């Protein structure tokens, strides 16, 4: 893989608002390309598309890509649900002359930060509290009770990794967070 462009990584416990922030940056920055992860979970209703939000794979397809070393990193993020970053995604985006933007969980974010070194800016998106996180997951209305409790359990663990990231973005007011994220990207790409 050629090491060219830069990468900006957004990591957070599920429900912190990072996907909204990432989508906003993509919509407003034509020089950013989204790294579409592969995953084995079910598609969420009509709001998600294969090849846009994720590459939705069967567990067998995912395993075969692990064996062929097609991933930079992969993880069983939730029990039985695998997620991973494909090497081919980075090539695709850098070949378009763009910087890469990632939406991954906390462990994946740290693995990517290590892999890309000083080409990466790793941003930890933080919710004000676990209670706020629970209510956001409930309001989202896309996850079962089991899925929400798995996500909250994992979030409590993930909050301990904040200080390993380059910067924290506290997501209290979405408008302000969107602005802060844009400023972070502008400053990062100029340096």
Contact residues: ligand 5GP, CB under 6 A: 14, 37, 41, 73, 75, 77, 83-85, 103-105, 108
- Close Cβ partners of 82 (under 8 Å, ≥ 6 residues apart): 38, 39, 40, 59, 62, 74, 75, 76
User: Cβ of 162: how many Cβ atoms within 10 Å?
Assistant: 15
Q: Compare residues 22 and 184 and give the one whose CB is closer to ligand 5GP.
A: 22
Residue with the CB atom nearest ligand 5GP in the bound state: 108
Q: How far is the CB of 129 from ligand 5GP (least distance, A)?
A: 18
Q: How far is the CB of 25 from ligand 5GP (least distance, A)?
A: 14
Q: Compare residues 154 and 189 and give the one whose CB is closer to ligand 5GP.
A: 154
Q: Compare residues 9 and 184 and give the one whose CB is closer to ligand 5GP.
A: 9
Distance of alpha carbon 73 from alpha carbon 81, whole angstroms: 14
Q: Compare residues 157 and 186 and give the one whose CB is closer to ligand 5GP.
A: 157
Q: How far is the CB of 84 from ligand 5GP (least distance, A)?
A: 5
- Tell me which residue of 114, 106, 99, 71 sits closest to 8, measured CA to CA: 99
Strand order in the sheet with 81-86: 54-56, 37-39, 81-86, 71-78
Q: What is the CA radius of gyration of the chain?
A: 16
Q: How far is the CB of 161 from ligand 5GP (least distance, A)?
A: 13
Q: Compare residues 146 and 187 and give the one whose CB is closer to ligand 5GP.
A: 146
Q: How far is the CB of 45 from ligand 5GP (least distance, A)?
A: 13
Q: Compare residues 33 and 84 and give the one whose CB is closer to ligand 5GP.
A: 84
Q: How far is the CB of 95 from ligand 5GP (least distance, A)?
A: 19
Q: State the helix-helix crossing angle for 174-190 and 18-28, rounded to 10 degrees.
A: 60
Distance of alpha carbon 145 from alpha carbon 157, whole angstroms: 19
**DSSP 8-state secondary structure symbol assigned to residue 10:** E
């Amino acid at each position: 893989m050629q090491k060219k462009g830069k990468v900006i990584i957004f990591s957070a416990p599920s429900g912190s608002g990072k996907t909204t922030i990432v989508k906003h940056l993509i919509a407003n920055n034509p020089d950013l390309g989204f790294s579409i992860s592969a995953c084995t979970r079910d598609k969420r209703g009509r709001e998600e598309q294969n090849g846009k939000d994720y590459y939705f794979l069967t567990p067998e397809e995912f395993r075969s890509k692990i064996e062929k070393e097609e991933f930079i990193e992969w993880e069983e993020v939730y029990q039985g649900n695998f997620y991973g970053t494909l090497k081919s995604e980075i090539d695709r985006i850098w070949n378009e002359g763009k910087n890469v933007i990632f939406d991954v969980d906390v462990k994946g974010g740290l693995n990517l930060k290590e892999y890309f070194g000083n080409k990466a800016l790793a941003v930890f998106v933080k919710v004000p509290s676990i209670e706020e996180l629970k209510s956001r997951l409930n309001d989202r209305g896309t996850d079962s009770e089991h899925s929400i409790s798995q996500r909250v359990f994992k979030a409590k663990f993930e909050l301990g990794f904040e200080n390993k990231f380059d910067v924290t973005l506290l997501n209290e007011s979405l408008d302000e967070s969107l602005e802060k994220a844009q400023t972070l990207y502008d400053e990062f790409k100029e340096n």
